[in-house]
Amino acid sequence: MASLSFSSSLYTTSQIQRLSSLPLKPQHLRKKSIPAVQSKIREIFMPALSSTMTEGKIVSWVKSEGDVLSKGESVVVVESDKADMDVETFYDGILAAIVVNEGETAPVGAPIGLVAETEDEIADAKAKAQSKSQSPAVPASSAPTPAPKTETPAPPPPSPVAAPADGPRKTVATPYAKKLAKQHKVDINKVIGTGPFGRITPEDVEKAAGIVPAKSPAPAAATTPAPSVAAAAPGKAPAAAALPEIPGATVVPFTTMQAAVSKNMVESLTVPTFRVGYPISTDALDALYEKVKKKGVTMTALLAKAAAMALIQHPVVNSTCKDGKSFTYNSNINIAVAVAINGGLITPVLQDADKLDLYLLSQKWKELVEKARAKQLQPQEYNSGTFTLSNLGMFGVDRFDAILPPGQGAIMAVGASKPTVVADADGFFSVKNKMQVNVTADHRIIYGADLSAFLQTFSKIIENPDSLTM
């Protein structure tokens, strides 16, 4: 299991200072004096295990309260957004108190435990831990206070409803209402207006003439929508959340990894993307795979190697746009490959895929998959990708579109290779294996011509794969 050391802060109270040599007044001396208490209680912080991690979950405490700790020893296992990692200590001491228990989460930088230097300080550490565990409850109790405030302003809006009582005393009509009254021979002075301040509306005239249109109920409520709409405005947010519950449904909260995937997918929607599809013949690639799979080479390694070789010739597809104002050309070609694991999705990265031979690349890929399924990947092994490959062909999926990961310029979605009837230049038909490749790209830095040229190069490598084994 991966490991990481945490940083800690030192809390040492001041000792009685000898100030007799300083020309201070007695009152100054009293302010500076503090009872002599010497203690060293260090906090174990929630570490940042990746650049995207904002909080961590305690999987398990390797040590229990009262256990003696040695420098470099694992203390706790923390679940980040992508992996579980052992956290080691930099100091010798005693695990005096556990602030965050197993299964609970804490933001990065928050104290999760306290380490005392001696047994005499354990009681102080436990008291400090209790105060820290109670402090998060303070904002929770203050949260309900705004709720009553929102209820008290609600009653005043209905008061404007009484305003129309003054209105009917005036005989005011709209021009179109007067025209209708003349047309239907209705005495305008005898019509009771339902508009603002008693204004006579066309609907009022039609009603007086005995014509009842389908829209007639709407004007009758014309005076009441003002307060009701005002009251509905703040209720829009709860209305969106108040979806009908399905009987028997079970709500399961996201795991840390699922929450990270959700956050990244929503973030990716802010990037303007476009998609280009390309059919590629795979007869030669299938033949090569049959030869090299006996040596441990996987189809994923073949596709990753082909993509890396194509990216060498088209560096713009390997670039990223981080600020919306410039290109970032990556000097390394790191192919991230999407892998489904229990409870989530992760993208182990084949770093410098263009510089590794096919067999070494396959060996590296197997190691990454094993570490990913054991949740032991180091951050640089899953967050350093410059181009992503997603292959669902092994499941028989013939084509699909992939969502662009944040911080990358393009992602390739590879479908299954299937027999396809094709016609040659002379009009003769034949059957060839073809796979559909769809690439989603950031349109701010990669254009249609760039992506088309890249796919043409990738297609040539797949259809003539001898270069993959060189």
Which residues are known catalytic residues?
Answer: 443
Q: Are 125 and 116 in contact (CB under 8 A)?
A: yes
Bridge partners of 334, per DSSP, are none
User: What whole-number distance in Å separates Cα of residue 13 and Cα of residue 82?
Assistant: 39
What is the number of other CB atoms lying within 10 angstroms of the CB of residue 260? 21
Closest CA to 110 of 100, 102, 101: 100
- Phi-psi label, residue 387: left if phi above 0, alpha if psi -120 to 50, beta otherwise: beta
User: What's the Cα-to-Cα distance from 11 to each of 41, 114, 120, 125, 127, rounded to whole Å?
Assistant: 6, 11, 15, 11, 14
Q: Parallel, antiparallel, or unpaired for β 111-116 and 55-61? A: unpaired
User: What whole-number distance in Å separates Cα of residue 18 and Cα of residue 33?
Assistant: 9
User: What whole-number distance in Å separates Cα of residue 205 and Cα of residue 223?
Assistant: 18
Cα dihedral angle (354, 440, 389, 278), rounded to 10 degrees? -80
User: What whole-number distance in Å separates Cα of residue 370 and Cα of residue 177?
Assistant: 79
Q: Tokens for 89, please give them.
A: 């200590």
What is the crossing angle of helices 299-313 and 283-292, to 10°? 120
The dihedrals phi and psi of 107, each to the nearest 5 degrees, come to -65, 155
Query: Considering just the CA atoms, what is the radius of gyration of the chain in Å?
Result: 35
CA 304: distance to chain centroid? 26
Gap between the terminal Cα atoms of the chain: 35
Q: Tokens for 399, please give them.
A: 């084509």
Cα dihedral angle (308, 309, 312, 318), rounded to 10 degrees? -30
Closest CA to 206 of 193, 197, 223: 193
User: What whole-number distance in Å separates Cα of residue 187 and Cα of residue 183?
Assistant: 11
